[in-house]
Amino acid sequence: KPVNVAAGGVAPTGGALHPLMKVRSMFRETFIEMGFEEMETNKFVESSFWNFDALFQPQQHPARDAHDTFFVKTPASTRTLPADYLERVRATHENGGESLPDEYNSKSCGWRYDWSEEESRKNLLRTHTTAVSSRTLYKIAQLAKEGNFKPQKYFSIDRVFRNEALDATHLAEFHQVEGFVIDRNLSLGNLMGTIADFYRRLGPEFNDLKFKPTYNPYTEPSMEFFSYHPGLKKWVEVGNSGIFRPEMLRPMGFDEDVSVIAWGMSLERPTMIKYGVDNIRTLFGHKVDLNMVRSHPIVRWT
């Protein structure tokens, strides 16, 4: 059959932004309005050192097992780590840094085990964007040693990967929103106020947050925070937070009175609460309905 090359084609439907990308843009604008700077997040593959060890997370912690973390086979390990900082992290894990100069000594007892450099060099798909925060804080510490310390606020929004069982609120690949503030003598009140201010700007659905004490290896005190999901009819955890421990900050070279308040939250769960989505798999993944993407309303938080 002859082809009529002069015939008009089917009009394209046009592109559409995914709801998560719209919400991500709004989160980013909110952080910038609050005076935060964005961190570089271009490392999906990260070393165990920056993902775990620099955060004072012990090497025998369950989160570092293969059933929780995706390890990379090729290349299996990283070659480049700052040698002097690596040795300070080793000492802090083993004995709290008691053998280090006073400017790096965390004055704790550490985890009291034989730290393995081989384990710290293993590559993995980053399990949280706190790995980005640890790299950024290390750079800030180098500037602080030159007398250039100043209060700063940073954020990041990008993908992380965990070997999770999939259900209505969990995925193996999802987006994490990370923020931290560094200054002198920050308190738990500063942390709670900053988180509440951020969510208050997102709309009335997040005016009522619940904070609950929890445990993190690298923050003390630590808190989870929850928001109510009317569709699931329950309080859903939307983030984790805390004040970074001296065992994380002192090996970098920060003064004793320098504090870092930090929190991480998912991008998907606040979007689910905002728009009444009951199953995270309908929002992100291979089961997403393209008609939902095309017909999704403009993001409106107020």
- Place 174 in a pLDDT band, splitting at 50, 70 and 90: confident
Average pLDDT, the chain: 87
Q: What percent of the chain has pLDDT over 90?
A: 52
Position 53 scores a pLDDT of 95
Give 199-207's long-range contacts (Cβ < 8 A, gap of 24+): 199/227, 199/270, 201/30, 201/33, 201/34, 201/301, 202/26, 202/27, 202/30, 202/270, 202/274, 202/301, 203/274, 203/301, 203/302, 205/273, 205/274, 206/270, 206/273
User: Is residue 288 over pLDDT 90?
Assistant: no
Residue type, 246: P
Helix, coil or strand: residue 162: coil
**What is the per-residue burial (b if ≥16 Cβ within 10 Å, else e) of 112-125?**
eeebeeeebbbbbb
User: Is residue 137 over pLDDT 80?
Assistant: yes
**What is the per-residue burial (b if ≥16 Cβ within 10 Å, else e) of 37-58?**
eebebeeeebbbbbbbbbbbbb
Position 122 scores a pLDDT of 95
Looking at per-residue confidence, does 9 or 135 come out higher?
Answer: 135
**Mean per-residue pLDDT, 57-83:** 87
User: Is residue 82 over pLDDT 70?
Assistant: yes
Q: Which of 160-164, 202-206, 227-231 has the highest mean pLDDT?
A: 160-164
What CA–CA distance (Å, rounded) separates 99 from 139?
24
Q: Is the dihedral of CA 108, 112, 117, 122 positive or negative?
A: negative
Position 298 scores a pLDDT of 58
Task: Tell me, rounded to whole angstroms, the distance of Cα 78 from its chain centroid.
Answer: 21
Looking at per-residue confidence, does 162 or 169 come out higher?
Answer: 162
**Mean per-residue pLDDT, 60-69:** 79
**Mean per-residue pLDDT, 83-99:** 95
User: Is residue 244 over pLDDT 90?
Assistant: yes
Q: What share of the chain is helix, strand, coil (3-state, %, to 5)?
A: 35, 25, 40
- Place 297 in a pLDDT band, splitting at 50, 70 and 90: low
Looking at per-residue confidence, does 8 or 49 come out higher?
Answer: 49
- Place 200 in a pLDDT band, splitting at 50, 70 and 90: confident
Position 228 scores a pLDDT of 80
Q: Which of 12-21, 57-66, 163-172, 253-262 has the highest mean pLDDT?
A: 253-262
